[in-house]
Amino acid sequence: MNSEIQIILEDKNPYKQGNCFERIVREIIESHRYEVSSNINFTGMELDLIGKHKDRPNETLYVECKAKEKVSSAEILTFESKVRFKKVNYGYFIRTKELEHQAKGIVEEMQADERYNHITFFEPKKVIKLLQESGQIKTATEFPKKITKSILAITYFGDYYIHLIKDSLGSVPKSFYLINAKTAEPIDDDKNLEILKEKIPSIKNLDIELISAEKTEPTLEKQKIEIESISEVQESENWYDYLPASTKHIVGRDQIRTDIFNFFNKALSNESNRRVFYLTGKSGWGKSSLVADLKGRCRNKYYKNKYYSLAIDSRSALSSNFVALSFEKLIKKAISDSFIKTDLFAKEISFTSTFDLLNSESVKELLKYLKQSNKILILIFDQFEDIFRKDDLFKTFYKFLADVTDLKGNLIVGFSWKTEILIPSENEAYHLWQQAKEQAEAFSIPEFGSKETNGIILQLEKSIGKVDTDIKRRIVESSQNFPWLTKKLCIHIYDQIKAGKDKSTLIDENLNIEELFKTDLEKLSPTETSGIKYIAQRASDSLFFEASEVNDKISEDVINSLRDKRLIIRSGLNYNIYWDIFRDYLVTGEVPRIGESYIIRSSVNTCLEIFTTFEIGKSISPNEIRDKREKDITIPAIENSLIDLRNLGLVKKLEKEEKYALAIKNIKVTEVYFKEFITEKFKNYSIVNQLEENKSIITSDKIIEIFKSNFKGYSFQDSTWKIYANFLLNWIAFSNLKLKDNIELPTKGGGLKRKFYKNLESNLESVFPRKSTKQIIPFIEKIPNDLNLNTLDTNVIRDLALLGFVELKGGQFEYTAICEKLDNTNFEKVLVKQAYKVPKIKQATDYIDNYVGRSSAKGLLRNYPDILDASLAHGSKVIYAGYLMQWAKYIKEKSTLHNILYK
């Protein structure tokens, strides 16, 4: 029943009304042996009344009196700050009207927080009670009809109780009782009745009702129980909310969900003695989403008559009452939702104490009912690690967990736990925590697999339409199986599309997590940025920013804006950042070291050649790239290389065009720049980061192992994984990373080059050229400035090494000192001498000298049958013998031309 106090004076001056109420309150305070002073001014603040206790001289009381229609939340918060600032013993906030909306919410939250126990809020009903106890008015009688609202009217012509009556057939009052507050006598008529109706809108159109004058003994008013604010785990309304995913939006997690419900079933059938479970997993892996999903599924058609679950956000915990109030809320909601059937004789739930929640008769009867009905109540505490931030709160939790375990009844308690949180052994709760884990069934949440990742992508597509395969690939590879990052990437793409971004250009986005977080902050004003960083710091320090501080530290407009942008959430009295990972970034400026992630699907040589076809300030199409290349290449191959170059951030696709352009300002389209860029880029490449932790030789098999672990969203054939691993090995070999000294290149391509070189060092006598003079000399002419050794064909590099122009150092081919002697004046002389040093070429030269005028490739094979490997086919022998003859003739010709002795 609502109550209020109306002060009616001849003069309508609100100031005089306030003074009148202050005098009334002053008399109440003085009746409790306080010496009272009124209208006290301090620097920057004003108080209505200050009381000094006569028997306890060190006890001080501040009193704020509000005789007005509406009290604002700002007035309540201002009073609390006065009391806190002056560090007085008690503060009374006394009002004549019931609170509305926001102000009421603030008071309820403060009443639920033990830090504000020294502040008392006097609702009108309590003020009336105090006036009765002080003898200023008398207690009214009980009435035959139900009262919906009670008014104490203190007027210049007398004091009255006015009780509005609820009619048995209607939903609104039609009449009222009128009682003399000084005598408690009913009044059936009064010369001042019209004045009362005029001054009090609630009774203006109501009729007065007569009652018997027979008095009854007053009933004791039931004391109000102050309830701490208990916040449930919030759930997503849309898939792109940062809140935990509801049952409607969660994807995958089938196996762990099945395991948990199997645990519930075993408890229900008494096949297990355990009644406590916990979920463990890294931050952002979806523990809260699974908790919300468990609650939701307990209410589907299959489970709704067996299980009832409530998920509580532990960050809303403020006092040791938290567990009891959470348990009470579970029971009340189960009754409200008809999971628990009650009748007129059911006892109202009560607890013996907050430390012994299962010992009261009402709880015992409830548990007996659950047993007989074959039903289970499930209470889950999410963000459980926050409990350890509150002094002594875990002791209450542990006692509850232990009692639930010992009872082995139809009550299950669960909680979620971050694996990153470690309790130091010196912490008082350490041993209790270890014992709690031993009593509990553990369920570990895994990282995302292909089903979960593809499920999030499907939700994205339902919102914006089909996305390109390249974008899907980028999401799968960039997210690296992290649930929080998968969702973050998809939300980012969703926001970009909604903002008008062309889908075809999204692959050019820098999708590393730091850039995504920076994008979040770029949406904010300086005031909002300051506000969110303040909230993050407070949360990190375990001193959460509270609702009562709104408009003190951060304005309500800023709070509302941050909530609308889904960057902060409210849990009970507290505000927090939407993700712990984002909170840590706001505080430290650092993100988890997960690196960028992608699979390179093209060779480094092809990507380099395509990159060097670009010109600064110009765009180019795949067809134009193909036309500019000397070698034949398909358009699909070019497009694959362009995707790699876009992933690396070197080129971008132009919106609504099928052309590409360079993506970096001040870029240099050179091989040197390309190599330096790749080297720096790979320093934040997650695959390379993991390879750097490897102490043994890095092979393609090792890379395949890491690929499969990081990209569970793919199910490639082993041959495909092998191709991608070999590509990466060659990219690393091309870079300037120190890691390249620790790799083993594949046996094809680069591996063959190194294999040949090792054979060259140990068995020079048996090695012969694999290219003709016409094929190899143009490459030598480009030495040293215009030749990229890492991009050369295997047979070219081996012939250059055979001729002494290239050597293997630190796993990479480099120019020898001979190259420094090459110039336009001595090129042929140097080449003659280097070629004659090759044993097989020398043999061919000797053959020409011995068979002047009738030498040929077949003659060489006939006269020197062991000059080539016997395992070669005859046709191959003829070809390679021809190459030897070309080199021999080159030596003879150039020696005669330059008058040099080659022998």
Query: pLDDT tens for residues 775-807?
Result: 888 888 877 666 667 667 777 888 888 898 888
CB 888 within 8 A of CB 845: yes
Query: Taking all residues of the chain, what is their mean pLDDT, rounded to a whole number?
Result: 81
User: CB within 8 A of 154, min separation 6: which ones?
Assistant: 5, 6, 7, 8, 20, 24
The pLDDT of residue 435? 74
Token pair 């590879």 in the structure block, residue: 477
C-alpha distances in Å from residue 826, one per residue of 124, 278, 779, 781, 899: 109, 79, 16, 12, 13
The pLDDT of residue 823? 79
Q: Provide the pLDDT confidence category of residue 887 given band limits of 50, 70 and 90.
A: very high
The pLDDT of residue 224? 32
What does the pLDDT look like over 478-518, one tens digit per residue?
776 677 778 888 888 888 888 787 766 666 665 666 777 88
Degrees to nearest 5, angle at CA 891 with 889 and 897: 100
The answer to whether the Cα torsion of 705, 707, 713, 718 is positive or negative is negative
Which is higher by pLDDT, 576 or 542?
A: 576
CB 688 within 8 A of CB 737: yes
* Percentage of residues in the chain having pLDDT higher than 70: 84
Of 133-147, 284-298, 542-556, 721-735, where does mean pLDDT reach its minimum? 133-147
Measured from the Cβ of residue 237, the count of other Cβ atoms closer than 10 Å reads 11
Structure tokens, 508: 């050019």
The pLDDT of residue 548? 80
The average pLDDT across 576-583 equals 78
DSSP annotation of 693: T
What does the pLDDT look like over 64-81, one tens digit per residue?
888 877 788 888 888 888
The average pLDDT across 250-266 equals 91
Peptide bond into 839 cis (omega under 30): no
Measured from the Cβ of residue 2, the count of other Cβ atoms closer than 10 Å reads 15
Residue 120 and residue 406: Cα distance in Å, rounded?
39
CB 231 within 8 A of CB 313: yes
Q: How many CA atoms lie within 13 A of 694 on its CB side?
A: 21
The average pLDDT across 25-45 equals 78
Q: Provide the pLDDT confidence category of residue 218 given band limits of 50, 70 and 90.
A: very low
Residue 336 and residue 890: Cα distance in Å, rounded?
100
Of 220-234, 280-294, 534-548, 775-789, where does mean pLDDT reach its minimum? 220-234
CB 687 within 8 A of CB 597: yes
What does the pLDDT look like over 409-456, one tens digit per residue?
999 999 887 765 556 566 666 666 677 777 888 898 877 777 788 888
The pLDDT of residue 227? 40
Which runs of consecutive H residues, i.e. helices, occur in 782-903? Answer: 794-802, 827-836, 839-850, 857-863, 874-898
Q: Provide the pLDDT confidence category of residue 167 given band limits of 50, 70 and 90.
A: low
Q: How many CA atoms lie within 13 A of 199 on its CB side?
A: 22
Does residue 172 have a pLDDT over 60? no
CA dihedral (469, 470, 473, 477) in degrees, to 10, reads: -170
Q: Provide the pLDDT confidence category of residue 378 given band limits of 50, 70 and 90.
A: very high
Q: Are strands 90-95 and 60-66 parallel, antiparallel or unpaired?
A: parallel
Q: Provide the pLDDT confidence category of residue 568 given band limits of 50, 70 and 90.
A: confident
What does the pLDDT look like over 340-368, one tens digit per residue?
987 755 667 767 666 677 877 788 889 99
DSSP element (H, E) containing 535: helix 526-540
Does residue 266 have a pLDDT over 90? yes
Token pair 């203190």 in the structure block, residue: 154
What does the pLDDT look like over 85-106, one tens digit per residue?
888 899 999 988 877 656 777 8
Of 363-377, 636-650, 666-680, 778-792, where does mean pLDDT reach its minimum? 778-792
Degrees to nearest 5, angle at CA 50 with 48 and 51: 140
Does residue 268 have a pLDDT over 90? yes
Residue 448 and residue 483: Cα distance in Å, rounded?
6
Does residue 206 have a pLDDT over 90? no
User: CB within 8 A of 425, min separation 6: which ones?
Assistant: none
Residue 98 and residue 3: Cα distance in Å, rounded?
7
Of 374-383, 466-475, 675-684, where does mean pLDDT reach its minimum? 466-475
Token pair 């639920």 in the structure block, residue: 112
DSSP string, 396-464: HHHHHHHHHHHHTSSEEEEEEEETT----TTSTTHHHHHHHHHHEEEEEPPPP-HHHHHHHHHHHHHHH
The average pLDDT across 296-321 equals 86
CB 26 within 8 A of CB 73: no
The pLDDT of residue 712? 75
Token pair 């041959």 in the structure block, residue: 719
Residue 607 and residue 220: Cα distance in Å, rounded?
87
Q: Give the rounded distance of the alpha carbon of 105 from its chain centre.
A: 29
The pLDDT of residue 411? 95
Residue 888 and residue 784: Cα distance in Å, rounded?
25
What does the pLDDT look like over 844-867, one tens digit per residue?
998 888 887 778 888 888 888 888
User: CB within 8 A of 164, min separation 6: which ones?
Assistant: 147, 148, 149, 150, 151, 173, 175, 176, 202, 203, 206
Which is higher by pLDDT, 468 or 670?
A: 670
Does residue 129 have a pLDDT over 80? yes
Residue 145 and residue 319: Cα distance in Å, rounded?
40
The pLDDT of residue 220? 33
Q: Provide the pLDDT confidence category of residue 271 given band limits of 50, 70 and 90.
A: very high
C-alpha distances in Å from residue 509, one per residue of 170, 470, 871: 64, 12, 54
Q: Provide the pLDDT confidence category of residue 238 given band limits of 50, 70 and 90.
A: confident
CA nearest neighbour of 418 among 387, 397, 391, 440: 387
DSSP string, 730-778: HHHHHS--GGGGGB---TTTHHHHHHHHHHHHH-GGG---SS-HHHHHH
Q: Give the rounded distance of the alpha carbon of 268 from its chain centre.
A: 35
- 200 backbone φψ class: left, alpha, beta (φ>0; ψ -120 to 50): beta
Does residue 759 have a pLDDT over 90? no
CB 880 within 8 A of CB 886: no
Residue 704 and residue 706: Cα distance in Å, rounded?
5
Q: Provide the pLDDT confidence category of residue 886 given band limits of 50, 70 and 90.
A: very high
The pLDDT of residue 592? 62
Q: How many CA atoms lie within 13 A of 92 on its CB side?
A: 21
Measured from the Cβ of residue 867, the count of other Cβ atoms closer than 10 Å reads 19
Does residue 835 have a pLDDT over 70? yes
